[in-house]
Structure 1
Amino acid sequence: MDSPHQSGPVRIGVLGASSIAWRRTLPALRDVQDSTVVAVASRERDKAERFAARFDCAAVHGYERLLERDDIDAVYVSVPNSLHHRWVNRLLMCGKHVLAEKPLTTRPADTAALAELAADRGLVLRENIAFVHHGLHRRVAELVGAGRIGRLRHIDAAFCFPPLPGTDVRYRADLGGGALLDAGLYPVRLAQYFLGNELTVAGAVLREDPAAGVDVAGSAVLAAATGETVTVTFGFEHSYGSSYTLWGSSGRLSVDRAFTPPPTMAPLVRIDEQDHAEEITLPAEHQFARSAESFVKAVSRSRSSGSDPDHDAWAATALRTAELLDRIATSAHRVVAGKQV
């Protein structure tokens, strides 16, 4: 199999015809300068052909056949969670750069193994956590760094939404479903964004659906090495909520629609002090486009250097996210319909 070419647009293949690929990531990848979507692979021929017609690319029936193509440099992986490790590993072994949907894997050891493999082969590996690319959070970090709320003491973050259709893969334990991996990842990664990777899990509760065998909601308390605390809430049995509040010694900063803002929405940051309230409106951004651009740029840089210069920093954060989610899962007090498990 030929190695990826070293000039021209980054040629992208897609493994998995998911809803998020259709609605968000593929439109973003299609529109990124210096990239082109070459083929979409699905185990269902009709899905592959529907995606191919919309994104003007080749339809591939079956994942294996995508690996056989020599006209692809990078692959966006959007298959169920439990399949990520297997297919990302195979793609890296084939010399392909990979952008994988979150979570990268369902086990910290698998995340570590993939990160090591990518580094050994000089390939770019990224987890498609789009919200971290939105300028909103950089601006919030600047405001906190400038002392607008005094010293940061506590973070409260939540990502919840209403129940999904019963056939949704997030209710499939065998496919890596559950609210912790799907929604809980967001507030956990937000805590890392503002406090770094030196976080520990102080306690957690998970609410389980006995019929599906997955967690459908939960909360956790995290502690930073420097003394700050974090509460995270997540689930898909709630009214919609996507927000965080940073509590400081002299003020409180709040953000709504934090994790999934529409591309046209101008984010609003509210700062409350003892005798003053201020609202700051920030520019609208397409966070999936920013994530796609970041990945394509990383692949382009790696062509000249033969490696990914940002790999170590990215891998350390991704692995710590996986470890924190695993610790929440293994240490949680579990309840079913209000009863202890």
Structure 2
Amino acid sequence: MGTGPLEPVRVGVLGAASTAWRRMLPALAGTPGVTVTAIASRDRAKAARFTDRFGGEPVEGYAALVGRADVDAVYVPLPNALHHEWTTAALLAGKHVLAEKPMTTDAAATARLLGLAEANGLVLRENFTFLHHPAHATVRDLCAAGRLGEVRSFTGSFCFPPLPADDVRYRPDLGGGALLDAGVYPIRTAQLLFGDDLEPVGAVLRVDADTGVDVAGTALLVSAAGVAVTAEFGFQHSYAGGYRLWGSTGRLSLDRAFTPPATHQPVLRIDEQDHAEELVLPAADQFARSAAAFADEVRAARAGTPPQRQAGTHRTAELVDAIRALARTTTTSGGR
């Protein structure tokens, strides 16, 4: 006997961003029980290009979308510095929110949003899609089972080549920079594996003298259990997006850890003293899984279940603030 159709979650999208076009709008539009009802842009023609593909009504201006009665939840893929303003507006309008990472550009703003959502019984999620990929749960299970012995260190890297000169990630007024855009991935991975009790103990940020944003960096943190955590990030590198764990009896590595295609089968490599093996894991669409998890939590909130607390989200923002505060800076020019 079937369970019947899912209660619909009607989603409005604030901003016609490329990440929405490539990643999350296909996931939202393809999730059972989710309907894209409106997409807003400052340019109505740009919004119309998106609605032609994903459905819904094109809307000119973000405020007009937030106030719509046919929108239950809002997806916010705007530049980082605009997240706080428009997530606040959506929450005050009684909408649940899925905000792209980072939720805001500082911990105090993140705390305000989380408090506002909790006070109003609304779902507020930071869209770290990789957290929904089962490969990372497998890594955590292997560590817990002692496969690597006592974990001594973790190194996570998310780096890619220079971006186009007009990319918003080079604009400090829009919350640009490599730490907020890429560094948060290895930091959040370390939180997943070792808990939120991480403390930064050193950092270097490479700042572009022309734009004022950090274009590369490295941060060193330590976990409550004494695990050394290194986070590498930047816009000045050949592509790398993965992490390595080194324990007393073995090492584990996972490449393409943060934004793998839905068809990608992750490969965990484990190296021991006299043995090496590779575990090929099932493919998973982390964007679809994130969209479905958000919609499920919205339905649960409607039924009276309090939304999940997002302590990890606030802690990530605190760690970013702390890394900025203690970092030694070097300068470069032209993003190179």
**Would the TM-score normalized by the shorter structure come out above 0.5?**
yes
Worse overlay, 329-338 or 129-138: 329-338
SS in 2 for 1:301: helix
Could you list the per-position Cα deviations for residues 85-133 of structure 1 after superposition, in whole angstroms to 9, with x for gaps in the alignment?
Answer: 0100111000000000010000100100100000000000000001010
Q: Would you say 1:244 and 2:243 are equivalent positions?
A: yes
Alpha-carbon shift at residue 151 of structure 1 (Å): 1.2
Alpha-carbon shift at residue 301 of structure 1 (Å): 0.5
Alpha-carbon shift at residue 45 of structure 1 (Å): 1.5
Alpha-carbon shift at residue 68 of structure 1 (Å): 2.4
Partner of 2:74: 75
The one-letter amino acid paired with 1:336 is: T
Structural mapping, 1:1-341, within 5 Å: 8-305=7-304, 307-308=306-307, 310=308, 312=309, 315-337=310-332
Structure 1 gap segments, 5+ residues each: 1-6
Alpha-carbon shift at residue 337 of structure 1 (Å): 3.1
The one-letter amino acid paired with 2:43 is: E
SS in 2 for 1:233: strand
Worse overlay, 198-207 or 31-40: 31-40
Alpha-carbon shift at residue 260 of structure 1 (Å): 1.2
Alpha-carbon shift at residue 37 of structure 1 (Å): 0.6
**Partner Cα separation in structure 1 for residue 241 and residue 305 of structure 2:** 39
SS in 2 for 1:247: strand
SS in 1 for 2:204: strand
C-alpha RMSD of matched pairs (Å): 1.0
The one-letter amino acid paired with 1:327 is: A
The one-letter amino acid paired with 1:125 is: L
The one-letter amino acid paired with 2:311 is: A
For these two proteins, the number of residue pairs brought into alignment is 328
SS in 1 for 2:303: helix
SS in 2 for 1:17: coil
TM-score (norm 1): 0.95
The one-letter amino acid paired with 2:323 is: I
**Partner Cα separation in structure 1 for residue 283 and residue 138 of structure 2:** 13
**Partner Cα separation in structure 1 for residue 248 and residue 135 of structure 2:** 22
Could you list the per-position Cα deviations for residues 281-326 of structure 1 after superposition, in whole angstroms to 9, with x for gaps in the alignment?
Answer: 0001111111111100100100111631x2x2xx210010000011
Alpha-carbon shift at residue 146 of structure 1 (Å): 1.1
* Identical residues among aligned pairs (%): 57
SS in 1 for 2:58: strand
**Partner Cα separation in structure 1 for residue 303 and residue 75 of structure 2:** 22
Alpha-carbon shift at residue 64 of structure 1 (Å): 1.2
TM-score (norm 2): 0.96
**Partner Cα separation in structure 2 for residue 259 and residue 231 of structure 1:** 16
Partner of 1:3: none
SS in 2 for 1:13: strand
**Partner Cα separation in structure 1 for residue 181 and residue 305 of structure 2:** 33
Partner of 1:4: none
Structure 2 gap segments, 5+ residues each: 1-5
